[in-house]
């Protein structure tokens, strides 16, 4: 979902109707709200989600019927055909730009997410982990719930469906739930508007004009993009979680302090968790996981990350990004199995962060060749002869703004450290504070967003980086 001022006006209207209408109709209010919003964003996406919903709904019932009758081969065949169709459509739309005959195909907004969600739904029915939903209205809401539609998280029906079946029990006057929802929304907007968008004022200039800057600034650019993509995507996810909590729906926490991970395996348990868990459950484990020896484990790991890279984009730079994380993970597997001594956690965190940051260069560059050139310049450019202050001005920055961005990044790191130590996300953590402290933090967040957020031409707080993947 794209979050803008109009979004929250719309959200206010939906919330008033949700709590004002007959309780049994609440799921259908959210379904209609989702369809209206999706249609507003893109009519093709609305058609796509409706068609996908109908096909997957019918396939789920068919698989359930075959399973209950003991016709396992028919159930497996139906599941296989359905998943292949979803996979082929996803590949065609993602890679249409590479084939002239497919140039007119456009990836519907959110398709990457609800296609994976649909695949998980059908696979769970086949494996008897879940039952097919017979109420098409509730299933349609599962597929199109508007806070998570554009960029996830990828929800499992076993977690989501029971919640929407209890919407009639949700009470508006629940101070803790509303405070938590407000905290998530504010936290998400701070991450997005105050941090990610401010970093976005100069990071693209470094990635596009790397040959004009010193090695120091290119290193700063790499580290800044590392924080930008985190704050942007984690900000989106926090806002989505906050909006869902207004209706007492808990979405999966997509980010839990990933840059404090001591190894790359932990990183992927904390970064884009819904995708990581999906790849683990529906690719890695099905391929055999770690049950068939170390060589097979390494091969399965590499397949998972190649698929992860392909899912994110159609350039070789995305594939290489996936390969890098596959290599990192295999090295971690080998160290865990054959390592002779345990590394200090701080060392592990520094190495993991640096490896992730290096890989992000290939993710953020316009092409693989541009990423290679960026890395080459970063390692060899040295000093351009200009002062640090001169290069700041060349990027259109003022030193004071750069210091503000640095302070905001430090605040994000501090919040993540607290969250990591307490094993709670920051919005949940501050609910333990007394009312005075909590409301002061809310007030401070609003002021920082309004005063220091990146606004004006070229900036749209409703647009998120991961909407492109």
Q: Is residue 159 part of a domain?
A: yes
* Residues 137 and 204 reside in one and the same domain: no
Task: Give the integer Cα–Cα distance in Å for 48 and 43.
Answer: 9
pLDDT of residue 318: 93
Q: What is the CA radius of gyration of the chain?
A: 23
428, 445, 460, 458: which is closest to 190 by C-alpha? 445
pLDDT over 70 at 25, yes or no: yes
Q: Is residue 126 part of a domain?
A: yes
As for how many domains the chain has, the answer is 2
* Residues 76 and 105 reside in one and the same domain: yes
Tell me the pLDDT tens digit for each residue of 198-209.
Answer: 998 889 989 988
> Reduced to 3 states, what is the DSSP secondary structure of residue 71?
coil
Q: Is residue 56 part of a domain?
A: yes
Confidence class for position 144, pLDDT limits 50, 70, 90: very high
Confidence class for position 184, pLDDT limits 50, 70, 90: very high
**Alpha carbon of residue 334 to chain centroid:** 29
- The H-assigned helical ranges of 95-174 are 111-126, 136-144, 157-164
Task: Give the integer Cα–Cα distance in Å for 422 and 401.
Answer: 32
pLDDT over 60 at 5, yes or no: yes
pLDDT of residue 266: 95
Tell me the pLDDT tens digit for each residue of 298-336.
Answer: 999 999 999 999 888 878 899 999 999 999 999 999 988
The single residue listed with the structure tokens 């704050």 is 231
Which CA distances in Å does 109 have to 44, 99, 193, 219? Answer: 8, 20, 22, 33
Task: Give the integer Cα–Cα distance in Å for 190 and 413.
Answer: 13
Could you tell me which residue, 186 or 290, shows the higher pLDDT?
A: 186
**Helices first, then strands: H and E counts in the chain:** 22, 0
Choosing from 272, 312, 341, 389, which is the catalytic residue?
312
* Residues 165 and 182 reside in one and the same domain: no
Q: Is residue 322 part of a domain?
A: no
Tell me the pLDDT tens digit for each residue of 167-178.
Answer: 999 998 888 999
* Residues 153 and 198 reside in one and the same domain: no
Q: Of the candidates 135, 169, 203, which is a domain's last residue? A: 169
The encoded tokens of residue 292 equal 């068939």
- Lowest-confidence pick of 36-45, 67-76, 106-115, 317-326: 106-115
* Residues 218 and 362 reside in one and the same domain: yes
254, 226, 25: which is closest to 138 by C-alpha? 25
* Residues 140 and 205 reside in one and the same domain: no
**Angular region, 167: left φ>0, alpha ψ -120 to 50, beta rest:** alpha
**Alpha carbon of residue 49 to chain centroid:** 19
Spatial contact of 82 and 122, defined as CB atoms under 8 Å apart: yes
Could you tell me which residue, 225 or 346, shows the higher pLDDT?
A: 225
* Residues 24 and 148 reside in one and the same domain: yes
How many CA atoms are closer than 13 Å to the CA of 187, on its beta-carbon side? 29
In percent, the amount of the chain with pLDDT more than 90 equals: 65
Say what the alpha-carbon torsion angle 137, 143, 147, 148 is, to the nearest 10 degrees.
160
Say what the alpha-carbon torsion angle 102, 106, 108, 110 is, to the nearest 10 degrees.
90
pLDDT over 80 at 343, yes or no: no
Which structural domain range is residue 39 located in?
5-169
φ/ψ of residue 147, rounded to 5: -60, -30
Q: Is residue 300 part of a domain?
A: no
* Residues 221 and 77 reside in one and the same domain: no
Instruction: Report the predicted TM-score, pTM, of the whole model to 2 decimal places.
Output: 0.91
For the chain, what's the residue count? 469
Spatial contact of 396 and 202, defined as CB atoms under 8 Å apart: yes
Our answer to whether residue 312 is catalytic in this structure is yes
> Reduced to 3 states, what is the DSSP secondary structure of residue 227?
helix
Widest CA span in the chain: 76
* Residues 150 and 244 reside in one and the same domain: no
């Amino acid at each position: 979902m794209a979050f803008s001022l109009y979004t929250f006006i719309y959200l206010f209207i939906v919330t008033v109707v949700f709590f004002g209408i007959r309780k049994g109709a609440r799921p259908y209010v959210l379904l209609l709200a989702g369809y209206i919003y999706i249609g507003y964003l893109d009519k093709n996406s609305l058609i796509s989600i409706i068609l996908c919903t109908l096909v997957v709904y019918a396939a789920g019932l068919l698989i359930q019927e075959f399973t209950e009758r003991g016709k396992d081969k028919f159930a497996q065949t139906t599941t296989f055909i359905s998943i292949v169709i979803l996979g082929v459509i996803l590949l065609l739309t993602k890679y249409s730009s590479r084939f002239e005959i497919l140039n007119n195909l456009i990836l519907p907004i959110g398709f990457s997410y609800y296609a994976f969600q649909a695949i998980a739904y059908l696979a769970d029915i086949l494996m008897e982990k879940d039952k097919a939903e017979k109420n098409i209205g509730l299933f349609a809401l599962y597929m199109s719930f508007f806070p998570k539609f554009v960029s996830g998280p990828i929800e499992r029906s076993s977690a989501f469906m029971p919640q929407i079946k209890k919407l009639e029990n949700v009470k508006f006057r629940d101070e803790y739930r509303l405070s938590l929802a407000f905290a998530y929304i504010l936290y998400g907007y701070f991450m997005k508007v105050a941090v990610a968008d401010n970093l976005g004022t100069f990071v693209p200039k470094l990635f596009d004009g790397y040959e004009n800057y010193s090695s120091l600034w290119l290193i700063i650019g790499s580290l800044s993009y590392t924080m930008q993509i985190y704050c942007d995507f984690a900000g989106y996810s926090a806002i989505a979680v906050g909006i869902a909590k207004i209706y007492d729906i808990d979405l999966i926490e997509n980010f839990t302090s990933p840059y404090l991970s001591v190894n790359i395996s932990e990183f992927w348990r904390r970064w884009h968790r819904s995708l990581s868990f999906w790849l683990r459950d529906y690719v890695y484990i099905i391929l055999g996981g770690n049950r068939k020896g170390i060589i097979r484990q390494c091969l399965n790991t590499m397949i998972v990350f190649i698929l992860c890279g392909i899912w994110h984009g159609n350039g070789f730079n995305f594939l290489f990004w996936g390969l890098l994380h596959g290599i990192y993970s295999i090295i971690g597997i080998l160290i865990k199995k054959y390592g002779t001594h345990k590394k200090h956690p701080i060392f592990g965190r520094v190495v993991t962060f640096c490896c992730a940051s290096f890989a992000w260069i290939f993710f953020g560059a316009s092409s693989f060749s541009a990423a290679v050139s960026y890395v080459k310049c970063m390692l060899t450019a040295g000093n351009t002869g200009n002062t640090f202050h001169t290069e700041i001005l060349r990027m259109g920055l003022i030193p004071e703004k750069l210091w503000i961005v640095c302070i905001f990044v430090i605040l994000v790191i501090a919040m993540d450290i607290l969250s990591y130590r307490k094993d709670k996300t920051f919005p949940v953590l501050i609910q333990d504070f007394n009312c005075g402290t909590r409301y002061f933090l809310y007030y401070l967040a609003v002021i920082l967003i309004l005063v220091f957020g990146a606004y004006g031409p070229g900036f749209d707080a409703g647009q998120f980086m991961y909407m492109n993947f």
